[in-house]
Structure 1
Amino acid sequence: MYRVNTLALAIACALSSAVSAQVAENGADNRNENLEEVNVTVSPLAKPADAVAAPVSVLKGDELRKSAAATLGQTLDSQLGVANASFGGGVGLPVIRGQSANRVKILSDNLDVADASNTSSDHAASIEPLLANSIEILRGPAALRYGSGAIGGVVNVIDGRIPTVVPEAIEGAVEMRHDTANGQDAGVFRLQGGAGNLAWYLDGVYRENGNTQIPGLAIREHEEHEHEGEEGEDHHEHEEEFNTDGFVGNTSARAKSGSAGLSWITDSGFVGFSVNRLENNYGIPLGTHEHHHEDEEGEEHALEEGHEEEHEEHGPGAVRIDLAQTRYDLKGEHDFNSDYWDKLSFRLGHNDYEHVELEAHEDHFHEGTRFTNKAWESRVELTHDDGGEWRGAYGLQLSRKDFAAIGDEAFIRPSVTDSIGAFTMKEREWGKWHMDLGARLENVTIDPEYGSDKDFDLIGLSGAIQYFLAEHQHLSLGLTSAERAPVAEELFADGAHLAESRYLIGSEDLDKENSVNLELGYHHHNQEASGWHAARIEASVFYNRIADYIYAANTGLVDEESEFDIYGYQNRDATFYGAEASVQFPLTNGLSVTLFGDSVRASFDERIAGQSSEVPRLPPLRYGFALGGDYANWNWQWRNTHATAQDRPGAFEEATDAYTRMDLSAQYNFKLAGNDAVLFANARNLLDEEIRNATSLLRDFAPEAGRSIEAGVRFHF
C-alpha cells in the first residue's frame, strides 16, 4: 500500500505540470518581472525562490510567526519534505527527505551554527526560531556551496542581528505567547535604529515550560524482539516504573537568548558585527536511561506517584542538558558598480559552545559528560554579471572545529576538524531555457587527540536546466554528485551515551559517501494574477543513490556494563527516492484550498544476513489539505495532515502507527495607539491523537504533545 501511495504521489506531480500549463497559458511573456521581491540567500546570485532550479521553501512573515516553536524541527514540521526528529520537548531537529544530522546543515545567516546538534539526537540546535526573520529550506544536496555537511539539504535561519540598512526611525516589536501543551510562556522583543551611516540592533527571548501533556501513557509497550527471557522481563518492568500517564516526565525547559549588532553602512556596501548569548536547560524524557542509575545498594529508582516534579528537578534517574553558547559574527558586502564584477561579500563567525549532561542523584544534580565545540568559519564570495550570456560566483570557505567530550561517559575522543573548500557557480539563459552549472573542491582533515589523522578529498559537481513554459511556470531537471567525509563521532565513537541510552562504536575505516541525486521539478506561481491563474503549484520527484552511506546500525547486541543497545557505524550503499507536491487554488471571497503530500523511501542496495534492508527512522507518507481565508484584518487556516504507518522501521526498531493531525490557526490585525498589533491563536492536534514520530529515537518513550492551544499578541512600533 505504501509503494502504491508513493507512485500515486509521483504521478500527481507529473500530471500537475500539464494541468498548470493550461492554467497559466495566457500569462505574460516576460518571465523576469513580477517575481517575488525577496531574494533567497541560499543562492549567491540574488535570485527569488521561484526562480531557483533546486526545490527551495521560504518560511517568513505571518506563516513563520504562526509556525514558530521552541525547536527548529517543530517549526518546520509542516513544510514539504521536512519532518521533525524530536527528542522530548527540548530537542527537535529537521529531517529533509529522510536525511538529518551530518547530512543537513543548519545555518545561522549562511554560516554553520557550529554546535553539537549533529553529534547526537539529544543535542538541541543552538537556534531560537522565535527570533528568526525568515527560514530558507533547500531540499536536496547543497554541498556545492556549503560543503560536505550539506549533502542532504540546508536550513538557513535568517535574522537581523547585523543591519544592512539604516532605519529612518527607531523600530521594534514585542511578542508574548502561551502554549497549553506544556504551559510554555514566551516573550520576544526586537529593537533597531540608527543615524547617519550607523545602524544598531537588539533582540531577546525568554521561554519557560513544564512537562509536555499527552493523551495516555508516555512509554508504550514493546515487542521484546531484542530482549528475550529474564532480561526482557526486567526491561519491561523498568519501563513500567518510569512510565507516566498524561504527560512526559522530565520535559520541562527554560531558555533565554539575547543579541546585539552594529553596522557601518554606505552607498557601496556595509560592514557589521554582532554577538549572541544563548542559555538553554532542558530535560531528557524519563525511561530512556533507567538501566544506568543505581543507588548504593544497586536498586533502581522509580517515579513515585505524586512526586513527578520533585523527581524531575532533584530525584534520581533524571538527566538534563545545560547548554550555553556565545557567538560572534562579522559580515560585510561591497558593491563594485562595474560592468563585470558585481559584489564581494564575506562572513566570519566564531562560536564558543558547551553543554553538560546533568545526572540526578537523590536531591542534587551531578555533572556528567561535558561537550565543548570551539569553532570558526569564514566565507568569501565574489559574483559577476557582464550583462551577457553568463553570470556566476566564486567562493572560498574555511572552517575549524575543536570538539571535545570530557567526563566518565565521553564516548567520542576530542578532535580538531579542518576544512577548506573552493567553488564556482555559473548560469546563463537563452530564450525559454536557463542553465546552472557548478563545481566544488574540498579537503577535510580530522585530527583526533590520539590515533591517526584522517584526510578526505571531496569533489562536488552539479548541473540543472529549466524550461519556462510561461512567465511564472517552469520545468526543471537537475543532477548533482556530492561527497561527504565521515565526522569525528562516526570515526572515533566508543562508549555509552547516557542521554541516548546507546552504546556507540565508530569505525576508523569508514569511506567517504558519494551521493548522486537526480531531480525533476515543476513550479507555477503568479502572485500578480487573479482567479485560477493565481494557482500556486510545486512538485518534484527525486532519486538519490548514496554509495558508502554511513549510519549507526543497531547490532541487536547489548553492552553488559551499561545494558545499552550497541550501535556500530558502517558503510552501506543505499538508495533514497520520493516525491513532493503542493497545489494551492484560490476560491471565492478570500478563500483558498491547498492539497499537499510528501513521501520518501529508502533501502540498502545489498542484503546482508542478519541485517534489515530498510534504512531506519524514515518519515512516513504524509498527505492532506488545508482550507484558509484571508481578509482585510484577519485570516485563518484549517489544516489536516494524515501520516501513514511506518511499518519499515529498520533493524531492531519499532514501527509507528498512522495518525491524523488537525490544526486550526487564526490571527486578527488591529491598531493600538496608532501602531500595528496582532492577536493570534493556534489550536494544534485537535483530535488529541497519539503521535509518535518515526524519525525520533525516542518515539517509544515520548510522543508528541496532545491537544493544545497557543495564543499570543504581537506589537509593532
Structure 2
Amino acid sequence: MYRVNTLALAIACALSVSVSAQTTSGQTTAGKGASDKRDALEEVNVTVSPLEKPADAVAAPVSVLKGDELRKAASATLGQTLNSQLGVANASFGGGVGLPVIRGQSANRVKVLNDNLDTADASNTSSDHAASVEPLLAESIEILRGPATLRYGSGAIGGVVNVLDGRIPTEVPEQMEGAVEMRHDTANGQDAGVFRLQGGAGNLAWYLDGVYRENGNTEIPGLAIREHGEHEEHAHDAHEEHEEEHHEDELNSDFNTDGFVGNTNARAKSGSAGLSWVTETGFIGLSVNRLENNYGIPLGTHNHTHEDEHGEEEHGEEDHALEEEHDHEEEHAHEEHTEEEGPAAVRIDMAQTRYDLKGEHRFNSEYWNKLTFRLGHNNYEHVELEAHGDHFHEGTRFTNDAWEGRVELTHDDGSEWRGAYGLQLSRKDFAAVGEEAFVRPSITDSIGAFTMKEREWGDWHMDLGARLENVNIDPEFGREQDFNLVSLSGALQYFLAEHQHLSASLTSAERAPVAEELYADGAHLAESRYLIGDDALDKENSVNLELGYHHHNQEASGWHAAKVEANVFYNRIGDYIYAANTGVEDEESEFDIFGYQNRDATFYGAEASVQFPLADTLSLTLFGDSVRASFDDRIAGESRSVPRLPPLRYGFAVSGDYANWNWQWRNTHATAQDRPGAFEEPTEAYTRMDLTAQYNFKLAGSDGTVFASARNLLDEEIRNATSLLRDFAPEPGRSVEAGVRFHF
C-alpha cells in the first residue's frame, strides 16, 4: 500500500501544480488549431517520429537526453547512462555491461538503436553481452517508453533507446569544428578520452571520432558476494543460522572479495569516420565504425564448472590457488587483471565493424514531403574466454552478421491528414560455436511494412498506425519457424492550453520469439545458467493502455515555467515469454535450469516528474516511478511475481544554474524489492545521493568546461533487482568522476 500511495502523491502534486499553472497563466488557446500549439513547443524534433515532431508533442512518453545533461550522465554503459531517466532502470552485469530496462521490460522487448537502425549485436541474447554503442560519443539519446513496434518491429514491444552520434553528416559546417574530453572516475580508476572532428567544403562534409576507455576493478562498500544464507528465499530475516549450510556458499567464499568486485576491469576503444554529399534537396552519406571491448565477468558466478572439470581430488588445490588469488587481488585492487585472475576468471573479448549508409531527399511537391533511407551492415563477434591457471582458452564464440534497411516516405499537403509509409527488412546470421554454446546457429529474416497517420482539429490531435510483419527463423538444426505479426495503435491528445495536453493511447502489438528462446539447450558459463528453449512457443500479444499529462513552457517565467510529466499505463501481455527458474539443478554443470515458456502476464505502473523554479537560478524537481507485474495464473508453491523488476523509486533534485556554472543535488530512494519472483532473492532498499557541477570558461578562443560528479555519497550497498548478478556484484560505492572538455 505504501508504494501505491507514495507514487499517487507524486502524481497528485504534479497535477495540482499543472492546474495551478493553467489557471494563473491566463493564456488559453480556445479556437486555435493544434498545429499552432505544436509550433510554440520546443523546436527540437525527435527522430523516433518520422513526422518531425518535438518530444513535447509526441503522444507516447519520450525522453531526450542531450547537451550538458547527457555529458553529466554519460558512463561506460548505456544502462548506467540512462538509469536516472523516468521509467528506466539498469540491468548491470558487472562494470562492463549495463542494459536499459524500460518499465520492467528488457532484452528482446527493448530495441537499442544506432541512429534508427538496430545495433545488431548480441546484447539481447544474454545479460552478460554489452550493447555495442558508446554513450561517450552520443550527441543525444532518445528514450521511448512503451510499445514502438509500429516503426521498429516486434523487438520494440517494450520501448526504444535510440543513440544518435552524428557520424553521417546531414549538413556542411561553415568551418571545422571539434571537441575533446578527458575524464577520470575513482569508482574503478577509469580513464577515458574522447575526440570529435567535423568539417567540409562545398557539398562535401566529413566526420571523425574516437574514444579510449580503461578501468580497473570496481570499488564497493563491503563484500562483493552476498551469501544466500543471509536471506531467506521469500523473506529478509529468517535463516542467518544457515549461512554455511550450502556447498555453494562455501565455494562462493573462495571467490569473495572485500571492498571491490574482482575481475571487473575493462578496456574499450572505438573509432568512426563518415562522409556525406549534401545538396539543397538532401544528402547521402556513409560511415564506418570499429569497436573493441574487453571486459571481465565478476568472480563467483561460474564456480561449479571448475569443480566439475577438475574433479574432487583437484578441488583442494584449486581452492588453494583461489585463496592465493584473493590475497593478490586485495593487494592490487586497482591493477588490471587478465591472466593473473586465475582459474575463476571469465572475460568477454568483443569486436565489431559496422557500415552505415544514410540518405534523404526532400520533394518539391504539394503532397510528398521527403524520402529517407537507411542501410546498415554489422559484423559482430565476441569470445567468452575462460582462465585456467595463467592461461585463457576460448569457450564460446558468438557471431552476428546482420543487415538492416529501412525506407520511409512522408507526406504533408496542409490538409487534414499527414503521415508516413515505411518498409523495413533485416537479416541476422547468428551463431554460437564452442564447447559451451547454448543456442544453435540460425538465420532470422524479417520484413515489415507500416503506415502512420495523424490529423488535428481544434484542440484535438489524433495519431493512428498499423504494421504488418513476417519473421522467419531458420536454425541449423531443428524446425524452421515462421510468424506473421500485426500491430495497431491509436492515440488521442487534447490541448488544455498552449503548452499542456492530456493524452490517451491504445496499442496492440505482437512479438515473435527469438532464436535463443526457441532453440537454447545448454549451459551458459558467464550467466551460470542452464538454458532450455522451446520451439513450440507462441508469439506474444500485448495490449497497452496509457494515460498521460504534459506541461512544458520554456518561454514562461516563475511558476508558469513548471515542467510536468505524468503517465499511468496498463499492459496485458498474452503468452509472455520468459526464462523461468525451475529450481532444479543440472547435474553436469551444476547450474540452475531456466526454461523458456509462455505465460500470461500483466504489467502496470506510473511515472511522474514535476520541475518548478524556486528562484531565478534555483529549481526543484520531484520524481517517482513504479512498475508491478504478475502472472495471471497460479502455480502451486511458486510466486506469481515476474522476476527481476525494478522497485519503486522516488526522490528530489535541487538545481542551480548561473552565468558560467551550474550544479545539481539529486537524492533517490529505491524501496526493497520483496517480490523477486520464484526462486529469486529479494533486494534491500537504498538511498542514493549524487552531486554534479560544472564550470564553463574561455581559453584561447575555445569554449571549455570543467565538470565533476560525486556519486553514491552515502556509500550505500546497492544491488540492482534487475540484475542476474545482484548477489555477486553490487553497484559502485562512493566515487568522484571529474574531467575537462574543450569545444573549438
Which residue does 2:456 correspond to in 1? 429
- The count of aligned residue pairs is 717
Aligned partner of 1:498 in structure 2 is 525
Shift of 1:17: 4.9
In structure 2, distance between residues paired with 1:261 and 1:247: 40
Residue number in structure 1 paired with 2:510: 483
Q: Counterparts of 1:606 and 1:145 in 2: how far apart (Å)?
A: 32
Q: For residue 245 of structure 1, what is the aligned residue in structure 2? A: 258
Letter in 1 for 2:94: G
Match of 1:269 among 282, 288, 309: 282
Report matched runs for 1:529-568 at 5 Å: 529-568=556-595
Matching of residues 257-296 of structure 1 within 5 Å: 257-294=270-307, 295=310
Which of 673, 679, 684 pairs up with 1:646?
673
SS state at 1:235 partner: helix
Alignment of 1:610 onto 2:637: yes
Aligned residue among 135, 138, 151 for 2:141: 135
Q: Does 1:66 align with 2:72?
A: yes
Q: How much has 1:586 moved relative to structure 2?
A: 1.0
CA contact (8 A) 1:679 1:712 kept: yes
1:181 partner amino acid: A
Q: CA deviation at 1:4?
A: 3.7
In the TM superposition, residue 303 of structure 1 has moved relative to its aligned partner by 3.9
**Aligned-partner SS, 2:108:** helix
- CA–CA separation in structure 1 for the residues paired with 2:439 and 2:539: 19
User: Using a 3 Å threshold, how does the CA distance of structure 1 residues 221 and 73 change in structure 2: closer, same or farther?
Assistant: same
1:478, CA displacement in angstroms?
A: 0.3
Equivalent residue, structure 2, for 1:579: 606
Letter in 2 for 1:307: H
- In 2: Cα distance, 1:62 partner to 1:303 partner: 45
- Partner of residue 218, structure 1: 224
Matched, 1:204 2:210: yes
SS in 2 for 1:307: helix
Cα distance in 2 for partners of 1:240, 1:326 equals 40
Given candidates 97, 100, 106, the residue that maps to 1:94 is: 100
Q: CA deviation at 1:33?
A: 3.1
* 1:369 paired to 2:390: no
- Following superposition, the deviation at residue 19 of structure 1 comes to 3.9
Deviation of residue 13 (structure 1)? Answer: 5.6
- Report the Cα offset of residue 298 of structure 1: 3.5
Q: Is 2:625 the counterpart of 1:624?
A: no
The answer on whether the counterparts of 1:13 and 1:541 sit within 8 Å (CA) in structure 2 is: no
Change (3 A) 1:23 1:483: farther
Q: CA deviation at 1:160?
A: 1.0
- Asked whether the equivalents of residues 233 and 682 of structure 2 are also in contact (C-alpha less than 8 Å), the reply is no
- What residue is the counterpart of 2:43 in the other structure? 37
8 Å CA contact 2:244–2:250 kept in 1: the answer is no
Q: Distance in 1 between matches of 2:643 and 2:603?
A: 12
Q: Distance in 2 between matches of 1:567 and 1:20?
A: 52
Q: Which moved more, 1:125-134 or 1:312-321?
A: 312-321
* Residues 25 and 470, structure 1, Cα contact 8 Å, conserved in 2: no
1:168 CA drift (Å): 0.7
SS of the equivalent of 2:246 reads helix
Q: Aligned partners of 2:674 and 2:130: how far apart in 1?
A: 28
Give the direction of change, closer, same or farther, for the CA distance of 1:508–1:394 in structure 2 (3 Å limit).
same
Structure 1 gap segments, 5+ residues each: none
Question: How far is the alpha carbon of 1:666 from its aligned partner?
Answer: 0.3
SS of the residue aligned with 1:102? helix
Shift of residue 569, structure 1, vs aligned partner: 0.4
Q: Could you tell me which of 508, 518, 543 is aligned with 2:545?
A: 518
Q: Distance in 2 between matches of 1:263 and 1:311?
A: 42
SS in 2 for 1:247: strand
Kindly provide the CA deviation profile for residues 615-653 of structure 1, in whole angstroms up to 9, marking residues without a partner as x. 000000000000011111000000000000000000011
2:180 matched residue in structure 1:
174
1:346-383: CA deviations, max 9, x gaps? 00000000000000011111111000000010000000
Residue of structure 1 equivalent to 2:23: 22
Contact 1:24 1:470 in 2 (8 A): no
The answer as to whether partners of 2:630 and 2:640 remain within 8 angstroms in 1 is yes
CA distance in structure 2 between the aligned counterparts of 1:188 and 1:26, rounded to whole angstroms: 46
Secondary structure of 2:151's counterpart equals helix
Residues 99 and 669 (structure 1 numbering): CA distance in 2 closer, same or farther, change over 3 Å? same
Is the contact between residue 10 and residue 541 of structure 1 (CA under 8 Å) also seen in structure 2?
Answer: no
**Is the 1:13–1:580 Cα contact (8 Å) retained in structure 2?**
no
Does residue 405 (structure 1) correspond to residue 432 (structure 2)? The answer is: yes
Does the CA-based 8 Å contact 1:16-1:539 persist in structure 2?
no
1:235 match? 248
CA distance in 1, matches of 2:712, 2:25: 36
Work out the CA distance in 1 between the residues paired with 2:91 and 2:21. Answer: 34
Contact 1:593–1:627 at 8 Å: present in 2 too?
Answer: yes
1:2 aligns to what?
3
Tell me the alpha carbon deviations over residues 261-283 of structure 1, each in whole angstroms, 9 at most, x when there is no partner.
00000000000000000000000
1:681-692 maps to which residues of 2 (within 5 A)?
681-692=708-719
Task: State the partner residue of 1:187.
Answer: 193
- Contact 1:539–1:582 under 8 Å retained in 2: yes
- The whole-number CA distance in structure 2 between the counterparts of 1:102 and 1:398 is 18
Give, as a single letter, the amino acid of the residue that structure 1 aligns with 2:72.
K
User: Do structure 1's residue 704 and structure 2's residue 704 form an aligned pair?
Assistant: no
Q: Quick check: 2:383–2:394 contact (8 Å CA) kept in 1?
A: yes
Q: Distance in 2 between matches of 1:324 and 1:510?
A: 32
The verdict on how the C-alpha distance between 1:328 and 1:601 changes in structure 2, with shifts beyond 3 A counting, is same
* CA distance, structure 2, for counterparts of residue 191 and residue 67 of structure 1: 22
Cα pair 1:17 1:522 within 8 Å, conserved:
no
Larger proportion of helix: 2
8 Å contact from structure 2 (residues 40, 498) kept in 1:
no
CA displacement at 1:8 relative to structure 2: 4.2
Whole-Å Cα distance in 1 between the matches of residues 435 and 58 of structure 2?
48
Match for 1:380: what amino acid?
Answer: V
Is the partner of 1:316 in helix, strand or coil? helix
- Counterpart CA distance in 2 for 1:158 and 1:681 is 24
SS of the residue corresponding to residue 293 of structure 1 reads helix
Partner of 1:256: 269
The amino acid across from 1:268 in the alignment is T
Distance 1:453 1:14, change over 3 A: farther
Per-residue CA deviations over 1:548-594 (Å, capped at 9, x if unaligned) read 00000000000010000000000000000000000000121310000
1:343–1:383 Cα contact (<8 Å) kept? yes
In structure 1, what is the equivalent of residue 498 of structure 2?
A: 471
Matches of 1:377 and 1:426, distance apart in 2: 24
Provide the C-alpha distance between the structure 2 equivalents of 1:168 and 1:20, rounded to a whole number of angstroms: 42
1:119-156 per-residue CA deviation (whole Å, 9 max, x = no partner) reads 00000000100000000000000001000000000000
Determine the C-alpha separation between the residues in 2 that align with 1:648 and 1:602: 9
TM-score, normalised relative to structure 2: 0.94
Residue 15 (structure 1) shift: 4.7
Q: Does the CA contact (< 8 Å) of 2:10 and 2:623 recur in 1?
A: no
Deviation at 1:232, TM superposition (A): 5.4
Q: What is the one-letter code of the residue matched to 2:386?
A: E
- Going from structure 1 to structure 2, the CA distance change for 1:212 and 1:492 (only over 3 Å counts) comes to same
- Name the residue aligned to 1:346: 373
> What TM-score, normalized by structure 1, do the two folds share?
0.98
Change (3 A) 1:186 1:61: same
User: What is the aligned partner in structure 1 of residue 472 from structure 2?
Assistant: 445
RMSD (CA atoms): 1.7
Offset of residue 32 of structure 1: 3.0
Partner of 2:327: 306
**In structure 1, distance between residues paired with 2:531 and 2:25:** 54
Contact 1:188 1:203 in 2 (8 A): yes
Report what 1:54 is aligned to: 60
Q: Distance in 2 between matches of 1:566 and 1:469?
A: 53
**Paired AA for residue 23 in structure 2:** Q
Q: Distance in 1 between matches of 2:715 and 2:28?
A: 45
Instruction: Confirm or deny that 1:80 pairs with 2:83.
Output: no
**For the residues of structure 1 that align with 2:16 and 2:175, how far apart are their CA atoms?**
50
Letter in 2 for 1:463: G
Farther-moved stretch of structure 1 (456-465 vs 227-236): 227-236
CA contact (8 A) 2:243 2:249 kept: no
- Give CA deviations for 1:490-511 in whole Å, capped at 9, x if unaligned: 0000000000000000011110
How far, CA to CA, are the matches of 2:264 and 2:72 in structure 1? 23
- Please state how far the C-alpha of 1:225 moved relative to its aligned partner: 6.2
Mapped to 2, the partners of 1:225 and 1:593 lie a distance apart of 40
How far apart are 1:479 and its partner, in Å?
A: 0.3
